[in-house]
Amino acid sequence: MFRFRWAVVAAWAVLAILGGIIGGQIFDRAVAVDQLSASAESMRAKARIAQVDPEGPLVIAVARDVDPHDPALVESVTAVHETLITIPGVREAKDLYTGPGGRIGADERSIMIQVELDSADPALLAEVARQLHRIRAPQVLVGGEPLAKQAFADQAVADAALGEGVALIAVAVLLIVLLRLGAVVPLAAALTSVTVTLLALTGLSGFVGVSEYTLNVVILLGLGLGLDYALLLLWRFRQERGGGASIEEALRTAVSRAGRTVLVAGGTVGVAMAGLSIFGEPLLSRMALGGAVVVVVTTLIALTLAPALIAILAPRLPTVAPAPLRFPSRFAAKRGLGGLSTGRFAAKRDGGRDSGGDGERAGVLGRLTLVAQRQPGLVAFWVTAGLVLLAVPFLGANLGNSDARSLPASAEARQLAAVVTSDYQMGRADPVSIVVESPSGGEAMRDYLNELLRLPGLLRLDLRFGVPAEGPATIVDLTPTSELAGRDLVRAVRAQPAPAPVLVGGPAAEVVDYQDSVRSNLPLVLAVLLLATGALLFAATRSLLIPLKALLLNALTLGATLGCLVVVFQWGWGEPVLGFTSWGAIDLTTPVLLFVFIFGLSTDYEVFLLSRITEEWRSRRDTDAAVLAGVLRTGPVVTTAAACLVLVFAGFALGGLIAVKEIGVGMAIAIVLDVTVVRGLLLPAVMSLLGRWNWWPTKLMAPSTSGHETITASDSPA
């Protein structure tokens, strides 16, 4: 690597430039991807309803603050109507003045216009919206489902660009302050990861659809993992140089040791992302594809580009001088830690070498570890109880399909949805639509409809207008009393005996189908993740208990994060700070995505820390000493990487889509909890309680025979 450093950098630079030029096309090629597979009952119902009663996409406009009987308004609406019906692709336009279908708002100060289209072609939508805005009124709001979906797609792309820009600026400032010239390595790795992945996805888009939300996932992971892995290699190189190794020796050790950790960590995140595809839903599968690509690209960059840049910059990089720490090897906290200080540890400095201000201090993580080791039982109990308490709000989570209500408050489609709900009593609860393969006029069908009327949570029942009574199928719209009642209604209808085959659809049915899909596939996903991650952690630690403990800690982090999300977004406590208006739910896909992201990134940090702790244990056979040494040696790089990740995720929390905010805020919360409370307190406490059993069933359980140990820069992976 040292010999070919310039060639490696040049090769990646070419790919990065191509990614910047060609990869940007993926933002235009991104397509909407269905959340559910075509085999889901709600999707089959949707397709069958489209056959029986083929309705086109509906654009809705509301003219507000008007007198519905004003001649000038009548003339304006009529003129727009005449123009609309001449546009190719417009099936029908309904308003108050030119035919049936027009409506006046409850306050009698607004009117509604509805335009049915042949398709949701973007050019057609834009032209129809432009014509509707020609209506002479103080305010004209134009929206509807097709325009709301388009607004989602546009906002997702805008949020990705905003998040990437803000995150890069914030991270660059932080790294330059902390690492000076060394900041070039992680920043270049992160940027190259994103651009090359976008280039790869642009090529793949010719064979498989790439959704807008996949781009958010790619940019989040590309920036986060690129920074993480490059920082790990850079830090290990600086430690080796501080120990007196030559540039080539230090680079070789960093790549062989820290590189192995990167491989394990990358494999863990890759397995977690691949787990999304097991759910079998198109949207999650596309995200799994994007995540797998970015993990492979980022890992390759960490093992090639990052070392090459380090080799080029090596003569000007500050080093981290080793700081030998002496304390009794049997220094368990219950024995007073053998006089170990929580301030700067007694250390011999390499007087002639610039440490860059990175001396071995106890720091925040070191101090937390000491606290945990003094009273491991109490710390483990109270931290676990606190995390479980944070998770409790998730028991009342309302998971819903993001609709116009989750767009930014300034979005016209959201404003229209609010007006339609308040002034026209539409959209309070979407109907449950069922299609029965039987004519509506038969006696058995009438009995069935009467049974449906008795179901709890039903507000009204309507036969779909325009479907012939003697036709092959009947479409029934059931309006529930609320959104949550709608989901119970879906299950009740599916359990109700019917005179003919029945398919149940509608937004509530889609939520139910998604939840059922996740519930049925989750055991397999968990089994794959647990086995794969357990195997990777076992390979790194040679322990069976450590992987199990890591998975339990990840579960606590996930639960606490999801509970916080409910408080912030569903309850609306975060509205003033994050600048959004709560819609009383969190997006249906957020828990699954956070499960995968948190699982992968938490295990990432687990690998960083446990690899070092394992090496320290092999040299001294004292669990508390090994844990403290591992925390001290990896603490600075883990803290720096975590700070960078929090900035990356916080950048995406500035986005307009609430679903994107949920991911950004959720990941930021998870990283803060994981690095401080979980890794700083709970992990040391649990490992202290387990003692030598941490290393079961390996031969490493044998105790040390020496009375004192010296912590130095050891030959460890991280």
Q: Report the topology of domain 431-505.
A: Alpha-Beta Plaits (3.30.70)
Q: What is the pLDDT of residue 272?
A: 83
Which CATH superfamily includes the segment(s) 5-35+153-316?
A: Multidrug efflux transporter AcrB transmembrane domain (1.20.1640.10)
Quote the percentage of the chain above a pLDDT of 70. Answer: 89
Per-residue pLDDT, averaged over 294-313, amounts to: 94
pLDDT of residue 614 exceeding 90, the answer is no
The count of residues in the chain is: 718
Average pLDDT over residues 477-486: 88
What pLDDT shows up at residue 469?
Answer: 66
400: its two tokens = 């819903």
399 phi and psi angles, rounded to 5 deg:
-90, 130
- What pLDDT sits at residue 127? 95
| Residue 101: per-residue pLDDT | 67
pLDDT at 335: 41
From the candidate CATH numbers 1.20.1640.10, 3.40.50.620, 1.10.1520.10, 3.40.1010.10, the one assigned to the domain spanning 365-399+525-702: 1.20.1640.10
For 44-84, write each residue's pLDDT tens digit: 999 998 888 888 899 999 999 999 999 999 999 999 999 99
What's the pLDDT at 339?
Answer: 40
Confidence class for position 260, pLDDT limits 50, 70, 90: confident
Averaged pLDDT for residues 432-445: 85
Does residue 233 surpass a pLDDT of 70? yes
Mean pLDDT of 161-178: 88
For residue 197, the model assigns a pLDDT of 94
What mean pLDDT is predicted for residues 303-319?
A: 90
Residue 607 has pLDDT above 50, yes or no: yes
Q: What digits encode the pLDDT tens for the residues 329-340?
A: 444 444 444 444
Q: For domain 54-143, give the CATH number.
A: 3.30.70.100
- Average pLDDT score, the chain: 84
What pLDDT, on the 0 to 100 scale, is given for residue 422? 85
**Confidence label for 2 from pLDDT (cuts 50, 70 and 90):** low
104 or 542, which is more confident: 104
The H or E element spanning position 664 is helix 658-672
Mean pLDDT of 100-113: 85
Dump pLDDT digits (tens) for 244-259. Answer: 888 889 899 889 888 8
Note whether 35 and 282 are within 8 A (CB).
yes
341 vs 209, more confident? 209
The full set of domain ranges for the chain reads: 5-35+153-316, 54-143, 365-399+525-702, 431-505
In this chain, the answer to whether the domains covering 54-143 and 431-505 adopt an identical fold is yes
Percent of the chain with pLDDT over 90: 35
| CA–CA distance, 193 with 186 (Å, rounded to integer) | 10
Tens-digit pLDDT profile for residues 211-229: 877 888 888 889 889 998 9
The greatest distance separating any two alpha carbons of the chain, rounded to the nearest whole angstrom, comes to: 99
pTM reported for the whole predicted model = 0.81
- Please say if the pLDDT value at position 139 is more than 50: yes
Confidence (pLDDT) at 448: 92
HSE, side-chain direction, 13 A CA sphere, residue 520 = 10
For residues 622 and 12, the model is more confident at 12
Burial tier of 89 (Cβ tally within 10 Å: 0-12, 13-18, 19+): middle
CA distance 667 to 439: 52
- Smallest CA-to-CA distance from 302 within 405, 188, 390, 219 is with 188
> CB neighbours (10 Å) of residue 280?
15
Dump pLDDT digits (tens) for 347-374. Answer: 333 333 444 334 445 567 778 888 888 8
pLDDT of residue 128: 95
Over residues 543-572, the mean pLDDT reads: 90
User: How far is the C-alpha of 79 from the C-alpha of 88, rounded, in Å?
Assistant: 17
> Binning pLDDT at 50, 70 and 90, where does residue 321 land?
low
Q: Are strands 708-711 and 325-328 parallel, antiparallel or unpaired?
A: antiparallel
Confidence of residue 705 (pLDDT cuts 50, 70, 90): very low
Lowest-confidence segment of 244-248, 324-328, 437-441 by average pLDDT: 324-328
